[in-house]
């Protein structure tokens, strides 16, 4: 269990100067041009994906931000108490598919405001932004993307609630409402451990002074301009944000898929207890495969050389 001191440090409002003083490296970023992050073996484990530099996408970002501001006003008008949860001190609206923690089968995420979540997700602006996050997974980690696609192709016919975004492989999404959405240091431990989660920032703030993405395990603090998207393995890397100024506004949008959904498919659409009873041999095989699961998952990450090779045209036979 975390100690009192660890909990305090997790919830502390860190500043850029404080992080640099304890050895963090600052990454300056325009929020447009993509920048992959590579591990010691040259595999891309996260990417500063940026954003399409087009008027149409800029309009989608502006509309989505306006929708989030209105959603925050709806929550406030409903008389909701200030939100407090393990990720931060801000209100959230969730939508999508959940599985785990005692559920017998995948079902819709519980939400205090399901209609609001459906309205946000159905808007073309968020459909486009969600599609961009999914497309960046496909571009920078094509094998991982196809792993998601394979799971979805088997799971989707059995779902009573569809995934929220038709052009995205991710099963769920969270709208983090402003005006000051910044997260505590945390890991999203229920997500697919080696999976990536697109995070899109919104707001009216100076990204050189606040709103940064902090990657604690790597001692990186990354400028995160409004309208841009970053993809990280959020279940594996501890992450948080630097708060923006009181006079500024920040919200965000995150997509993800629970690791339990993939286990449910691997268990032939049963819980582990049900599989152990109905097919003990398959249950034992799945248990044995768990030891190599992380290695398998990391093997789905690409190197730059692999991406270049995929992009090269194949010469036709002479």
Domain ranges of the chain: 4-264
Q: Is the pLDDT of residue 185 over 80?
A: yes
What confidence tier does 255 reach under pLDDT thresholds 50, 70, 90? Answer: very high
* Contact (CB, 8 A) for 213 and 295: no
Mean pLDDT over the full length of the chain? 91
DSSP strands (E only) in 124-270: 172-176, 197-204, 213-215, 220-222, 229-232, 239-241, 249-256
Query: Which helix (H) or strand (E) segment is 264 a member of?
Result: helix 259-266
What number is the average pLDDT over the span 106-126? 93
Among 98-112, 180-194, 279-293, which is the least confidently predicted range?
A: 98-112
* Contact (CB, 8 A) for 251 and 180: no
For the chain, the C-alpha Rg in angstroms (whole number) is 20
Q: Is the pLDDT of residue 309 over 80?
A: yes
Percentage of the residues of the chain whose pLDDT score is greater than 70: 92
Q: Is the pLDDT of residue 41 over 50?
A: yes
What number is the average pLDDT over the span 111-119? 91
> What is the pTM assigned to this prediction?
0.92
Q: How is residue 230 written in tokens?
A: 């970053």
Phi, psi (5° rounding) for residue 258? -65, 140
**233 three-state secondary structure:** coil
Find, among 185, 199, 154, 159, the residue nearest to 46 by Cα: 199
Give the whole-angstrom CA distance, residue 276 versus residue 68.
45
Residue 293 DSSP one-character state = H
- Which CATH number applies to 4-264? 3.60.130.30
Residue 303 DSSP one-character state = B
Distances (CA, A) of 173 to 41, 54, 91, 255: 31, 24, 14, 4
Strands across the sheet containing 229-232: 35-38, 44-50, 229-232, 197-204, 249-256, 172-176, 92-98, 107-108
pLDDT at 235: 96
Q: Is the pLDDT of residue 209 over 70?
A: yes
Q: Is the pLDDT of residue 316 over 50?
A: no
pLDDT at 158: 93
pLDDT tens digits for range 72-100: 998 777 765 556 566 778 899 999 998 87
């Amino acid at each position: 269990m975390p100690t009192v001191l660890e909990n305090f440090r997790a919830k502390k409002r860190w500043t850029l100067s404080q992080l640099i003083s304890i050895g963090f490296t600052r990454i300056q970023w325009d929020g447009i041009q993509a920048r992959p992050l590579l591990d010691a073996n040259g595999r891309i484990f996260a990417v500063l994906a940026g954003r399409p530099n087009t008027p149409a996408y800029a309009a989608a970002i502006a509309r989505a931000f306006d929708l989030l501001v209105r959603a925050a006003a709806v929550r406030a008008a409903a008389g909701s108490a200030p939100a407090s949860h393990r990720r931060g001190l801000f209100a959230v609206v969730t939508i999508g598919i959940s599985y785990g923690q005692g559920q017998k089968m995948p079902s819709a995420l519980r939400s205090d405001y399901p209609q609001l979540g459906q309205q946000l997700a159905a808007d073309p602006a968020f459909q486009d932004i969600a599609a961009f996050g999914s497309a960046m997974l496909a571009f920078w980690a094509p094998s991982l993307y196809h792993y998601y696609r394979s799971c979805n192709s088997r799971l989707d016919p059995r779902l009573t609630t569809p995934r929220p975004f038709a052009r995205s492989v991710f099963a769920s999404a969270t709208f983090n409402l402003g005006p000051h959405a910044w997260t505590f240091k945390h890991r999203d431990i229920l997500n697919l451990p080696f999976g990536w989660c697109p995070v899109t920032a919104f707001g009216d703030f100076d990204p050189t002074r606040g709103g940064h993405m902090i990657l604690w395990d790597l001692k990186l603090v990354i400028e995160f301009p409004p309208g841009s998207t970053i993809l990280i393995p959020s279940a594996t890397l501890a992450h948080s944000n630097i708060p923006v100024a009181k006079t500024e506004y920040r919200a965000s949008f995150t997509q993800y898929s629970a690791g339990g959904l993939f286990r449910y498919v691997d268990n032939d659409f049963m819980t582990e207890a049900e599989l152990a009873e109905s097919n003990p041999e398959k249950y034992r095989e799945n248990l044995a495969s768990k030891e190599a699961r992380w290695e398998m998952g990391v093997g789905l990450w690409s190197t730059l050389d692999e991406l270049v090779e995929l992009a090269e045209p194949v010469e036709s036979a002479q």
